[in-house]
Amino acid sequence: MILTVTLNTALDITYRVPELVPHASHRVDEVTERPGGKGVNVARVLAALGHESVITGFAGGRTGAVLRELLAPLAPVDALVPVAGTTRRTIAVADTATGDTTQLNEPGPHVTADEWEAFLAAYGPLLREADAVALCGSLPPGVPVGAYADLVRRARAADVPVLLDTSGEPLRRGLAARPDLIKPNADELARLTGSREPLRAARDARRRGAHSVVASLGPEGLLAVTPDGTWQATPPAPVRGNPTGAGDSAVAALLSSLVEGLPWPDRLKRAVALSTATVLAPVAGEYDAGAYEDLLTGVRVSTLPG
């Protein structure tokens, strides 16, 4: 089983409009709702890849109830911890004319000290059943800024490989707990290390505590700096679409490949193909399965100097 942690879950709402024009009213062609948050998206992709996945984190209020209703018929197991506050929404406005998407993200509910303790009490038993764990996304208000560092240490103590996918101070503190893998994007990596050069920044992040670093470079694919080598994987061609969840699909690919024992170049091929296929999907948190199979054969992986 692969455990995904989403402390700041969301109800992802996607609006499709013929053309997005600033300062104008719009007629919406289509509205979709999906259970969201980074780890929720990761778990859904893992399930589609044939892996048993369990989702934990927080959910509350009317939005949280809708999120759990939407999760119920899906393959991932819902182990979310209830909170009194209301789960946030994220709004994606997809422009049909250009293929571009505008994203609006709410902050999330306030989590009390007792609710945080309830989560920690649930996390331990879930961790003992896990083959790997992903700690994903932002921290909702009230959760300690060092929360991910604590969760990384607990995973390491349980001898469970742990992937950390967050940003800012939670990433900085989590890094000191020595996660097995971090997956920042280029901007997050630059803010963490102070270097705008991704390869130098990734090496610096490893020196700060990460066992391996996989950095998202947007259209240029993924950069991986690991004890086994350094690689860059690039998609066959640029694509346009809804990028929501693309990074989460890359995390799912990396976790599934880790559990399956694949070598790093194959992990990166899967991650780039899945994330690109997610951009091509019309709805947040899904991927184009047909495109994924085609993309997998076209991803290029180059070995870089160590």
DSSP string over 156-173 = HHTT--EEEE--HHHHHH
Q: How far is the C-alpha of 180 from the C-alpha of 189, rounded, in Å?
A: 16
- Is 100 annotated as catalytic? no
For the chain, the distance separating the N- and C-terminal CA atoms, rounded to the nearest angstrom, is 33
Residue 153: is it exposed, middle or buried by C-beta count within 10 angstroms (0-12/13-18/19+)? Answer: middle
User: Reduced to 3 states, what is the DSSP secondary structure of residue 257?
Assistant: helix
Enter the tokens of residue 182: 């971090």
Indicate which residue of 12, 95, 204, 248 is catalytic: 248
* Cα atoms in the Cβ-side hemisphere of radius 13 Å centred on 306: 4
CA-based nearest residue to 45, from 255, 212, 234, 242:
255
Reading the block at residue 187, the tokens are 């901007």
Q: How far apart are CA 183 and CA 248, in angstroms?
A: 10
The β-bridge relationship of strands 162-165 and 10-17 is unpaired
Which active-site residues does the annotation give?
Answer: 248
